[in-house]
Chains A and B, each alone.
Chain A
Amino acid sequence: MNEVELSGYSLKGIIKEVLRYKVGIFAIGILIFLILLSIYAVITMPYEKTIYMWNNSQLWLKNPRNAIPIWWSIFIGKKLPTNINLSKYVKEKHISDNPKRIEYIYSFSYNYDEFPPELNIFFKSNYKKDPPVIKIYWEKPNGDKIFLLERSLRGKEDTLYIQNIDKLENVLASYIKEKVGYYPTYPLTVMRGLFVDNSGNLSIYKGNYKLYLDVTFNDQNDTINIEPILYGLVYGIAGTDHLRRPLSIALLWGAPLDISFGVGAALSITILHLIFATISGWYGRRIDFIIQRFTEIFMLLPFLPLVIMISLFYKLTIWKLLLVVILTSLFGTGVKTQRALVLQVKNLPYIEAAKAYGASNMRIVFLYLIPKILPPVIPNLVISIPGFVFLEAILSLFGVLDPTQPTWGRIIEDAFQNGALYKGYFYWVLEPSFMLILTAISFAFLGFAIDKIVNPKLKEM
């Protein structure tokens, strides 16, 4: 074992020294960014509410599914559609009073380079006996008005998924056939049929569209609330997942969860190792023997399979898992290396002096020995943090961790489960990975910078 020189740095001194290195500034900069992100997440989105929102799929119905982040479209060089809530552009027109008949006209312009993926119309109506009957028309920019369908609502709350109504494909195909002269040569879907131009190619007709909803009520007092949404391909700064949830929530909340998990595990394990090592080195004899044998046993435990097994059998939450991780690495290599340090320090004059004036064993262990061997331990502490952050990701990846927590590992797992790598939803994997890498790199660089300071032997090399 290499002899580690014991330097006399205090914590404050270490931080001051770290800032003298470029790498140190870089690492601390990223770290501050992550901490600010965590604070922002905790303040703006209360934990309980976030967990509730994250696990409630009904809340997100009005978001696009698997939408890529807005900034991504800059790289593609195309103008990709965002969500358009058509109820903003509504005009009401009374047609008759008996029976009560109102026409809602939504006129909007569509100038994007891609077809929108979905058009859903959410109805909420209040009726006495029979639901209102709705006729839907679609007007293309050239003024052609196409009758799409007629139906009565199926309940007080009803949603019309326009892109899923197969019948419409025929309606739109015959319109295109009439215009172009032949049946469309490309595979036609409803959304393509709605937005394609009359050139015969699959290109978008840019311009002003109108959606007509002709509602015939059964009773004078019946009312209706319509919210048609034209879904986009891009959403927010982070995009959405397969359940239409905005990834930004999980990316933000992943920071406090993952970092506190990593720091919590690394800190408590290192402190426990430190205490065991000091006790083992200071007391010697039988206590030393017991602790060293325990350490050897723990070093032989297959850590990862064990943790996976425990968290699977007991359905652990992330905080209970933290406890399990600490318990399964209670003794480890740290105990061995730090005990060697204690043996070096043990016979220094100031300890002799403490013994001479009758300091108790506990006082010597906690006040004189541990502070002395702390500095060389700090780099390892910091460097071990990313390992635990990745451990969280591993456990999420195996699906053994609490699925309700919005962590980075969880997003990667969701992405994998839904074939993001094969379907081309790269943002879904890259965003949480980027955050993980940022965290890992910042802690690693910080740890290495501290290492250079507290172990000056390395600096000379």
Chain B
Amino acid sequence: MMVKESPIFKGYTDEQKRELIENRVKNELKRRGLDKPFLIRSIYHLKNALLLNLGTAMNMTSDSGSMQVKNIILERLPLTILLFTTASVINFFLHLFLGLKLARKYGSFFDKLVVYLSPTSVIPGWFYGIFLILIFYSWLHILPPGGFVDFPPPTNPILYALNVLKHMILPLSAWIISAFFWGIYSERNFFLIFSTEDYVEVATAKGLPDKEVERKYILYPALPPIITNFALTVISSWMGAIVTEAIFNWPGLGQILSRAIGLFDAPVIVGVTVIYAYLLAGTVLLLEFIYTLIDPRIRV
């Protein structure tokens, strides 16, 4: 409310008006808790963050029109999970399968190739994404440069799904290319260590078929660390997703973050950080349970 122009305060002197304004400022500071020292404020913020009490955004709205930070984030979270969990799952099985194959064909041409090319994986997925956009969009014009669906979106649900899939090709392949050689290389090393165990030699000596040796004697005992690896990859995929989403314009959490940065929407930025922390902690916790389930050596 304007104090200086308002007719309600017409009879007030300047001195009284200033006092009135100062009082209001003080009240507002108190209402927002800004009069408390930094440490105490931090505890309040921590409590709000832990309770997922993320407040309201300053400028941004969710697609449904809500300004609640929680809604803005929860609306986009599934899209992030859709793209990057798919990428992680594909990567996981690809690396597992090819790593196992290479470990059995140790020393072959492809084995050496993978070993030599493994350093290329230091280049992150989003960076390969730039090149994929360059090639498949700017040059060849066959794939969309980013986004979730065409506009206007197809009404037929099957066509809709196919359209989404088409938009997923580039980001997915960026991630697959980036992790390819290093992923296979590390799985291969891992399986090599396991395949030198005595029981594997025994199994081979018994004349068991290769497939069975691979599955029962190498893969199964190696499962717990592999699962850990997978879970950690999934988590880190959500983090790395921030940049990939920004590059590919994928409407997920990362895009929310980059839009919030553009608009300097502090509550959303803090909210996204909190949600990431929760996802991370949640996955690690889940991992502990899964670990005890699949590895009989670990007992609570």
Whether the Cβ atoms of A399 and B261 lie closer than 8 Å is yes
Residue A309 at the B interface, CB < 8 A? Answer: yes
Whether the Cβ atoms of A386 and B123 lie closer than 8 Å is yes
Chain B interface: which size bin?
A: 35 or more
**Inter-chain contacts of A421 with B (CB < 8 A):** 130, 133-134, 137-138, 145
Chain A interface: which size bin?
A: 35 or more
Q: Which chain A residues have a beta carbon within 8 Å of chain B's beta carbons?
A: 2, 23, 300-306, 308-309, 312-313, 383, 386-387, 390, 393-394, 397-400, 412, 421-422, 424, 426, 429-430, 433, 436-437, 440-441, 443-445, 447-448, 458, 461
**Inter-chain contacts of B261 with A (CB < 8 A):** 308, 312, 398-400
**Inter-chain contacts of B277 with A (CB < 8 A):** 300-302
Q: Say yes or no: A309-B273 contact (C-beta < 8 A), given A399-B261, A433-B127.
A: yes
Whether the Cβ atoms of A304 and B239 lie closer than 8 Å is yes
Q: Tell me the complex Cα distance, A312–B277, Å.
A: 18
Residue B189 at the A interface, CB < 8 A? Answer: yes
6 more A-B contacts (CB under 8 A) besides A305-B242, A305-B273?
A306-B273, A312-B264, A394-B243, A399-B261, A421-B138, A444-B122
Whether the Cβ atoms of B123 and A437 lie closer than 8 Å is yes
Q: How far apart are A95's CB and chain B's nearest CB, in angstroms?
A: 53
Q: Say yes or no: A441-B120 contact (C-beta < 8 A), given A305-B239, A433-B127, A461-B192.
A: yes
Whether the Cβ atoms of A447 and B119 lie closer than 8 Å is yes
Q: Tell me the complex Cα distance, A391–B281, Å.
A: 23
Whether the Cβ atoms of A448 and B123 lie closer than 8 Å is no
Residues B91-145 near A (CB distance < 8 A): 106, 116, 118-120, 122-124, 126-127, 130-131, 133-134, 137-138, 145
Q: Tell me the complex Cα distance, A441–B123, Å.
A: 8
Whether the Cβ atoms of B192 and A433 lie closer than 8 Å is no
- Point out which of B116, B123, B126, B247 has the most chain A C-beta atoms below 10 A from its C-beta: B123
25 chain-A/chain-B pairs, Cβ below 8 angstroms: A302-B273, A302-B277, A302-B280, A305-B269, A305-B273, A305-B276, A308-B242, A308-B257, A309-B269, A309-B270, A309-B273, A383-B119, A386-B123, A390-B123, A394-B126, A394-B243, A397-B243, A399-B261, A399-B262, A421-B134, A421-B145, A426-B138, A429-B130, A433-B130, A443-B122
Closest B residue by C-beta to A437: B123
Whether the Cβ atoms of A398 and B133 lie closer than 8 Å is no
**Inter-chain contacts of B124 with A (CB < 8 A):** 390
Whether the Cβ atoms of A424 and B119 lie closer than 8 Å is no
Residue B266 at the A interface, CB < 8 A? Answer: yes
Closest A residue by C-beta to B119: A444
Residue B223 at the A interface, CB < 8 A? Answer: no
Q: Which chain B residues have a beta carbon within 8 Å of chain A's beta carbons?
A: 106, 116, 118-120, 122-124, 126-127, 130-131, 133-134, 137-138, 145, 189, 192-193, 239-240, 242-243, 246-247, 257-258, 261-262, 264, 266, 269-270, 272-273, 276-277, 280-281, 284
Option from A305, A433, A448 in Cβ contact (under 8 Å) with B118: A448
Q: How far apart are A394's CB and chain B's nearest CB, in angstroms?
A: 5
Closest B residue by C-beta to A400: B261
Q: How far apart are A461's CB and chain B's nearest CB, in angstroms?
A: 5
Option from A2, A302, A308, A313 in Cβ contact (under 8 Å) with B266: A313
Q: How far apart are B119's CB and chain A's nearest CB, in angstroms?
A: 3
**Inter-chain contacts of B272 with A (CB < 8 A):** 305
Q: How far apart are A7's CB and chain B's nearest CB, in angstroms?
A: 18
Whether the Cβ atoms of A429 and B119 lie closer than 8 Å is no
Whether the Cβ atoms of B239 and A445 lie closer than 8 Å is no
**Inter-chain contacts of A386 with B (CB < 8 A):** 122-123
Option from A308, A429, A440, A447 in Cβ contact (under 8 Å) with B123: A440
**Inter-chain contacts of A397 with B (CB < 8 A):** 243, 246-247
Closest 4 CB pairs of A and B: A444-B119, A302-B276, A444-B122, A386-B122
Q: Tell me the complex Cα distance, A304–B239, Å.
A: 7
Q: Tell me the complex Cα distance, A313–B240, Å.
A: 21
Q: How far apart are A236's CB and chain B's nearest CB, in angstroms?
A: 22
Q: Tell me the complex Cα distance, A81–B189, Å.
A: 55
Whether the Cβ atoms of B189 and A458 lie closer than 8 Å is yes
Whether the Cβ atoms of A426 and B134 lie closer than 8 Å is yes
